[in-house]
Amino acid sequence: MTSADELFLGTDAGNDAYREAVERASEAVVEAFAENATPYSGESSASHADRLSAVECLPDEGQGLDATLNGVADRVLSRSVGVSDPKCVAHLHCPPLVPALAAETALAATNQSLDSWDQSPAATHVERRMVEQLCELFGYGPGGDGVFTSGGTQSNFQALLLARNWFARERYGRRVKETGLPHRAKAMRILCSEAAHFTAEQAAAHLGLGENAVVTVPTDDGYRMDPDALDATLADLRERDEDPFALVGTAGTTDFGSIDPLDALADRAAEHGLWFHVDAAYGGALALSPTHREKLAGIERADSLAVDFHKLFYQPISCGALLLGDGDRFDLIERSAEYLNPEEGDLDAPNLVSKSVQTTRRFDALKPYVTFRALGRERLAELVESTLDLADDAAAMLADAPDFEVLNDPTLNAVVFRYRPEGVGDERAGRLNAAIREALLRSGDAVVGRTEVEGTTSLKLTLLNPKTTVGDVGDVLDAVRNRARTITAAEATLQG
């Protein structure tokens, strides 16, 4: 039987066991991926379920770490999708940076919890310092503040929660935190573009406003919110006696990477008394780059902004932040608990519990802290910039190919396209591209994304990986062609 000493850090036996375990786990990761020539094994969902169905997850007697890790290497690691593979280009799902993985190991082992200072004495201040620098990075003044979150979903939810409470206080004199929704809640509206992320609707539903409270504004031909259409929508709402309270601008839509005209949106928000939230989950990383940061102009005027580090900042999941231009507004959701942040604090120390919708909270801030300090802004910017250049090259390659059509002019690194040779109509192109995507995933040769553009299934390359080359993109497109030929030939056989 393993002694308790060997199971916990703190003694020589425990510390040695820890070193060995971490090394063993990292070795298993490296080996699992070294054997894979493609980003995915191609194994079906049913096959994973089958293989795991007989595994006893809570045996009466343990098998030891070595045997267990061997099993995990075989059953899980080698059959995972290879996020660091240059041909894994489907989602906003990044290859994690090595310094960030080192930080992940350290933050897990120290296991600090950010809800109260006595559970994270140094970590609390690392997070606060990171937040300060992030506020600076995005152009907020000294009143800015923020909190680390599990990602864009949580950041967007919390931003709209604050916006709802703020508006109810300002407009209806209602303290939602204490007394619940105002009578006018049924009239409250959130505005975002039709290309915005679904989390606006999800948040509206969670906030008791209902997803129908979200009014979408049409986009221009670059998938950006059209300010004239926004004016028309605002006029419409006024006419119908509805109360818009939040305007969500997107800096990097999930499908197209398009960025709303943030300055124009900030003007409208100021004019109409709206809370201006910017969802920069995807595009926030442009702030690192002197060449591209101009695309975010106006973001510093946002009341709140969401940024994800587990996308274009190459951090392991989960890692995001919500920032506020005016940090005092965290008061709108203030919580106090005797055991965490007593009002009569005996220590002159910050307890971050009140800024978050979580209680126990990971020390995720350590990951960007280590990454930023280890690599520096310039190197990080180069990584991001190289992927934007690659997206331009990929779009040009698609535009030149007679059997493909490209559907966006990339602002970030997402390229949306269809396989569509001469004479293939919309409907057939949609079916064909859906079948291609499935066949690719089943073969494992390339992992590409899919989405709908004007009702037709399309394919997507999300080129986050700085290691992906033009040659890799060419290979992915060849794989698409090959699958298309196989599918078309099979159809012809069936018909003939």
Ligand X SMILES: *Cc1c(COP(=O)(O)O)cnc(C)c1O
Residues near ligand X, by CB under 6 A: 92, 151-153, 156, 197, 199, 250, 252, 254, 279, 281-282, 308, 320
Alpha carbon 239 to chain centroid distance? 36
Closer of 92 and 380 to ligand X (Cβ): 92
CB-based contact 55:75 (threshold 8 Å)? yes
Q: Which is nearer to ligand X, 199 or 411 (CB)?
A: 199
C-alpha distances (whole Å) from 263 to each of 27, 249, 395 are: 49, 10, 27
DSSP H or E segment with residue 92 = none
User: Minimal distance in Å, beta carbon 153 to ligand X?
Assistant: 3
Cis peptide before 318 (omega within 30 of 0): yes
Nearest distance in Å: CB 252, ligand X: 6
Nearest to 370 by CA among 108, 113, 103: 103
- Residue 415: enclosing H or E segment and its boundaries? strand 414-419
Which residue, 152 or 444, has its beta carbon nearer to ligand X?
A: 152
**CB nearer ligand X, residue 92 or residue 352:** 92
Contact 486, 439 (CB under 8 A): yes
363 vs 419, beta carbon nearer ligand X: 363
The C-alpha atoms of residue 252 and residue 406 are separated, in whole angstroms, by 18
Closer of 259 and 264 to ligand X (Cβ): 259
For ligand X, the closer of residues 321 and 375 by Cβ is 321
| CB of 163 vs ligand X, minimal distance in Å | 16
State phi, psi for 451 to the nearest 5 degrees: -155, 175
87: nearest Cα among 34, 30, 39 = 39
Q: Closer to ligand X at the Cβ: 199 or 341?
A: 199
Give the Cα separation of 288 and 298 in Å (integer). Answer: 15
Least distance (Å) between residue 253 CB and ligand X: 6
**Token duo for residue 420:** 């569509």
Work out the angle between the directed axes of helices 366-400 and 98-110 (0-180°, nearest 10). 150
Report, in Å, the least distance between residue 50 CB and ligand X. 29
**Closest distance of CB 149 from ligand X, Å:** 8
Among 383, 318, 321, 412, which Cα is nearest to 93's? 318
| Cβ–Cβ under 8 Å, residues 88 and 473 | no
Q: How far is the CB of 441 from ligand X (least distance, A)?
A: 20
**In the complex with ligand X, which residue's Cβ is closer, 282 or 417?**
282
Nearest approach in angstroms of CB 159 to ligand X is: 11
Residue 346 is encoded by which pair of tokens? 């005996």
Vertex 264 angle, CA 301 and 190, to 5°: 75
Q: How far is the CB of 145 from ligand X (least distance, A)?
A: 20
3-state helix vs strand vs coil in the chain, percent to 5: 50, 15, 35
Cβ atoms 336, 153 nearer than 8 A: no
Nearer to ligand X, 156 or 356 (CB): 156
Rounded to a whole number of angstroms, the minimum distance from the CB of residue 123 to ligand X is: 21
Q: Do 408 and 456 form a contact (C-beta atoms < 8 A)?
A: no
